Chain A
Amino acid sequence: MTHPMNSAAAICGLGITAMGRVYRDADDLAAEAVYLAIEDAGLKKSDIDGLLINAGVGNAVSIPLHISLGLQELNVLTFMQGYGSSAGQMIQYAAMAVANGLANYIVCVFADAPLLEGQRTGAAYAGGGRRNAMGSLYPLYGFAGALPMYALAAQRHMDLYGTTQEHFAEIAIGQRKWAAMNPAATKREPLDLAGYNASPWVVEPFHVLDCCLVSNGGVAVIVTSAERARDMKQPPVYVRGFAQAHGHDAGMSNQDAAIHTPAARSAPRALTMADAKLSDVTQCQIYDCYTYTVIVTLEDYGFCKKGEGGQFIADGKLSPGGALPTNTGGGELSSYYMWGMTPVAEAVIQGRGQGGARQAKNDLILVSGNGGVLNYHATLVLSPEAA
């Protein structure tokens, strides 16, 4: 029996602002993304009756966005936070709301502006660490932000399974090939192994090029019922299935949190809702805050056995022309970093068949969102075809 949420909702609008060193307020970038999405969908502002908001590291977008936007008759409005899993989460809650008649057109928006004029990129995400007891020693130890934690996780994968620096390089290089075909990508110049190796170390085993970009910008998508989406300006991208999984505690030694992530609990349930198998997936949009995140997520999604992710991707199957096109816009490593909206936005473009030179087979698109240090996870299964 088909799950009642399989293809009950669809994405009908997408708005993406300029990305990168755009020195504007996050609230204004959010507003622009919303207007772009409304125009893209062929709707009027007065059609919008739902707004879900997620802010990034700058935490500068919140409920008053509806006032900036002049949206005064909303039936759904809330601020949501699940870090990198937020975008996927917003679409899930929006899908359930439109399917149950709470609202007709719900905008899900993310915007952030952590880059400040005259400030280094690295400063934007360097905060963090609980400033108590041993936490107050973190700056002395070198623990700043999420980067070292992901580097530590990647090193454990190397120690346990023989994953190599070249495997991480393959992710960075392969995604750059996709970015070269994406006019909206920030980094489009060709990258080879020598270029990757020449990239400075930050926290070894991560070079700068193992890390996502830092971007100012905004992305909005509009979720509506499948019925409404059918006759709109844009081809509908149906939400076929979804799930979430959360709850790791990195402070307890009874969990192998660097290796086994909540993604493993999320994807099977999302595919079950979609009435699909992993082998039905024709492309992936995988949250890629770091190169390692792609490898561990593909393993946890079941594309290969635990520990074999490095070998799995080594033949270039994620790159243009490969068997499993992944992060076809260049991903967070090479296009832009809008948390979970980076994979979501590319999935919408691909689902509509609007990928141009980088268009990949889009029958079934698996989308991941990952937050914290591999702590919080959301999965979407999207398709141009309803169930």
Chain B
Amino acid sequence: MTKSPSWLPAPDDSNLPFFEGAKEGRLRLQRCNDCSAWMFPVRVRCQSCGSTNVKWADASGRGTVYTHARLQREYHPRHSGRLPLVMVQVDLEEGVRVNTNLIDCDPEKVKAGMSVQVAIEHSPSGEAVVVFRPA
């Protein structure tokens, strides 16, 4: 039996810690070692203070729904049989806003302000995919 094709581009040096964290069920983001600001997406320089002393750190994985929408067209194998797929922007406790999916929820009952937490889903080839679910 052939292995399912990868859903994801292979990690590279810029994002490997994120994917290694996901394997362990953790949400990792970059944080500035000088001013402690969190950042998203991947950056080489802190947006707040300009420092390049940026490291990966475990985020709380807790946040609230800033807003949401429902994907109604498939264009990736993961979407198959899952429409409407709930797309969300989550405001993390760390002060950054991430784009992701909300699973294990009634799409009609998702509202701005809802509490959510990080969850891990696995692709057919075993890759860890970071998503969120209601807290």
Contacts and interface: CB of A to CB of B under 8 A. Distances in A.
B41 A134 contact: yes
Contacts of B76: 139-140, 142
A310 B85 CA distance: 26
A372 interface: no
Nearest to B93: A253
Nearest to A144: B75
B95 A159 contact: no
B75 A139 contact: yes
B9 A142 contact: no
A279 B129 CA distance: 52
Interface in A117-143: 126, 130-143
A153 B87 CA distance: 12
Given A142-B76, A152-B87, A136 B66 contact: no
B86 to A, nearest CB: 9
Contact of B8 (A136, A159, A252): A136
A148 interface: yes
Interface in A190-210: 200-206
Contacts, number: 125
A253 B41 contact: no
A154 B130 CA distance: 25
A223 interface: no
A207 to B, nearest CB: 9
Contacts of B66: 156, 253, 258
A166 interface: no
Contacts of A140: 7-8, 76, 78, 101, 129
A159 B68 CA distance: 9
B68 to A, nearest CB: 6
Contacts of A151: 69, 87
Interface in B76-135: 76, 78-79, 84-85, 87-89, 91-92, 95-101, 111-113, 129-131
Contact of A143 (B14, B91, B99, B129): B99
Q: Say which size band chain B's interface belongs to.
A: 35 or more
Nearest to B8: A136
Contacts of B8: 136-137, 140
Contact of A252 (B19, B85, B87, B96): B96
Contacts of A153: 67
Given A133-B42, A134-B40, A156-B66, A202 B14 contact: no
Contact of A133 (B14, B68, B72): B14
B130 A137 contact: yes
A155 B65 CA distance: 12
Contacts of B40: 133-134, 251
Contacts of B89: 152
A206 B96 CA distance: 26
Interface string A94-112: 0000000000000000000
A254 B18 CA distance: 23
B70 interface: yes
A132 B15 contact: yes
B87 A143 contact: yes
B56 to A, nearest CB: 9
A134 B67 CA distance: 18
Contacts of B67: 152-153, 155-156, 159, 258
- By Cβ-Cβ distance, the 10 closest A-B pairs, closest first, are A201-B72, A142-B71, A156-B67, A253-B91, A133-B15, A204-B70, A133-B18, A159-B112, A151-B69, A132-B42
9 contacts: A137-B8, A141-B101, A201-B84, A203-B73, A204-B69, A204-B72, A253-B95, A253-B96, A253-B97
